Amino acid sequence: MANIVVLHGLYMHGVVMKPLASRLKKRGHTVQVITYNSLRINEALLFKRIHNCLSVSKKNVIVGHSLGGILAVHFVNSHQGKNTPIDSVVTIGSPLQGSSIAKELKNMKLGFILGSSKEQGLIDVNKLTVDCPVGSIAGTMSIGIRSSIIRDKQPSDGTVTVEETLLPELTDHLCLNHSHTSLIYAKDTVNQVDYFIEHHKFQREEEEVQGNYKADNPSSANEALSM
């Protein structure tokens, strides 16, 4: 079983991740949820808090939703070579290539509502490189703010597009038919996080849920983009 650190997304509080954490605990994992100020991110302090949650006897995993997933990858980049290595990272609805909504808000002179998250990867995207397995889960239920800001037909979870959750360096990528917020409350998300922790890949038995886009590897997620 793993020692899991959970990070929430923009505008959120750790309490929203409690249901996910509780379900992972029932699977036998140790789970710690960190709350941080997502508008005024003190990266050094946050990374110190993550480090203090790590175990020397269990494999360490970081699970992050949206902005939390980006910060999880940033932490792994800064943590290489330490005596408490990260076994794997799972990002949920995380715009690893940057957020088109955030960029559009900046163009509309509304970037200030994003706080310092702009510099943490929502707009200013640094190359993400990691030395551990990273699995990315994307949502395809397009219910959310995106349609009122950007009118296009890109598959998305209503906030983050499928394409934004992709990186060549990913170990695996999976699409689930949920919206941006419902991803963190869905049972199949928990199942997939738990499976990735154990196997460093997502579970696919024919199709996990009827209607899901098939993404057997990061590149094949492009099938979802063409639908």
- For residues 64-68, average pLDDT: 98
Q: Where are the domains of the chain?
A: 2-225
Look up the CATH number of domain 2-225.
3.40.50.1820
pLDDT for 212 equals 45
How far apart are the C-alpha atoms of 210 and 168, rounded to whole Å? 26
The pTM is what? Answer: 0.89
For the sheet containing 86-92, what is the strand order?
30-34, 2-7, 59-65, 86-92, 134-139, 172-176
Coil/strand/helix, residue 19: helix
Q: What is the pLDDT of residues 5-17, one digit of tens each?
A: 999 999 999 999 9
